Amino acid sequence: MGRFVNPFTDYGWKLLFGEEASKSILIEFLNDLLEGERHILNLKYLKTEELPENIYGRGVIFDILCESDTGEKFIVELQNKAQLFVKDRFIFYMSRAISKQGIKGKSWDFSLYPVYGIFLLNFTLPGGKACLRTDVAYMDMVSKELFSDRSRMIFLQLPYFTKCEEECITNMDKWFYILTRMDTLERMPWKAQKAAFEKLMERAETANFTPEEQAQYEAQLDAYRVMNSAMAQSKLEGTIEGKKEMAQRLKELGIDLSVISQSSGLTIDEIKKL
């Protein structure tokens, strides 16, 4: 186990961005991401049950739903593997958050607060541009002018980030460098330059875990490694055997059968027979 937590596990993602104690980290990340567009002074976390899916369904790691002090809503999601109709699901998430602004049983003038979807992807979008960041909004197709800022999606395809430490100039470069390498780092770079990185170091150090927290994290880390290994093998082999091996290894780790079914594409009955 490395010095710092792996942010691509549910435990690590929630620890670094999804808890009240880590709120200042999330605020600074969003402000750096939206520099020149929005500036957030405070956030409150909302119940993730407002989002329509189980956090383990279709490879989702952890959904953060929060609201700024000026009313904007932010969906921040980390996802480890590509899925069918992934773009449609992101649109559905956004539509759900927008539609919930309607006031039931009262007259409503349809004035909306902006909803931002921030999607960190540990894979490349099918049919997407080969670039790290893609910004999506309502646009006039002829003039190319912004039609409305009430729905904004930002896709961050992390495999396209390849800079070394010396090449990281902007704050977002530094965020991406740390997040994509955190579990292998021996020190937290730039912590003297940016308070959020010092806070990130405090939250991320695995030496601070209780024995129970360590056991929970290690189980999730094992599952993450198994999934990555099996996905790579399955991609190379292109056969059902790769899916079965992934399902078998996840089953041995005690992962819920419904989660294994969604991850592997096998039925629960097929998994039980392994």
As given in the structure block, the two tokens for residue 103 are 């006031």
Question: For residue range 98-133, what is the model confidence (pLDDT) as tens digits?
Answer: 888 876 666 677 888 999 999 999 888 877 788 999
Closest alpha carbon to 157 in 126, 180, 133 = 133
DSSP string, 189-225: TTTTT-HHHHHHHHHHBGGG--HHHHHHHHHHHHHHH
Q: How far is C-alpha 36 from the geometric centre of its chain's CA atoms?
A: 23
> What pLDDT score was predicted for residue 99?
84
Q: What is the pLDDT of residue 60?
A: 38
Do residues 118 and 74 lie in contact, with contact meaning Cβ atoms separated by under 8 Å? Answer: yes
pLDDT of residue 269: 87
More confident residue, 39 or 103: 39
Q: Give the model's pLDDT for residue 57.
A: 39
Report which of 189, 137, 186, 133 is spatially closest to residue 164, judged by C-alpha positions: 189
Between 32 and 124, the more confident residue is 32
Neighbour-count burial of 243, counting CB atoms closer than 10 A to its CB (0-12 exposed, 13-18 middle, 19+ buried): buried
* Strand ranges in the chain using DSSP code E only, listed in sequence order: 43-45, 60-68, 73-79, 115-121, 133-139, 146-157
Task: Note the pLDDT of residue 106.
Answer: 67
- Mean pLDDT score, 76-103: 83
**Contacts (Cβ under 8 Å, ≥6 apart) of 239:** none
**pLDDT single digits (tens) 141-187:** 999 999 998 999 999 999 999 999 999 999 999 999 999 999 999 99
Mean pLDDT calculated for residue range 196-220:
92
CA distances from 131 to 57, 160, 180 (A): 26, 6, 16
Using DSSP's 3-state secondary structure scheme, residue 31 falls into: helix
Scored b (16 or more CB within 10 A) or e, 120-138 reads bbbbbbeeeeeebeeebee
Q: For the ranges 2-6, 51-55, 81-85, 102-106, which has the lowest average pLDDT?
A: 51-55
Report the pLDDT value the prediction gives residue 270, as an integer from 0 to 100.
86
Q: Give residue 51's pLDDT band: very low, low, confident or very high (50, 70, 90).
A: very low
* pLDDT bracket for residue 40 (50, 70, 90): very high
- The torsion angles phi and psi of 267, rounded to 5 degrees, stand at -75, 160
As a whole number, mean pLDDT of residues 42-67 equals 62
The type of residue at 200 is L
Are 178 and 3 in contact, with CB atoms under 8 Å apart?
no
Give the per-residue pLDDT at 263.
66
Residue 274 contacts by C-beta under 8 Å, 6 or more apart in sequence? Answer: 244, 247, 248, 251
Mean pLDDT value of segment 25-32: 97
Residue 256, φ and ψ in degrees, nearest 5: -55, 140
pLDDT score of 52:
42
**What average pLDDT does the chain have?**
85
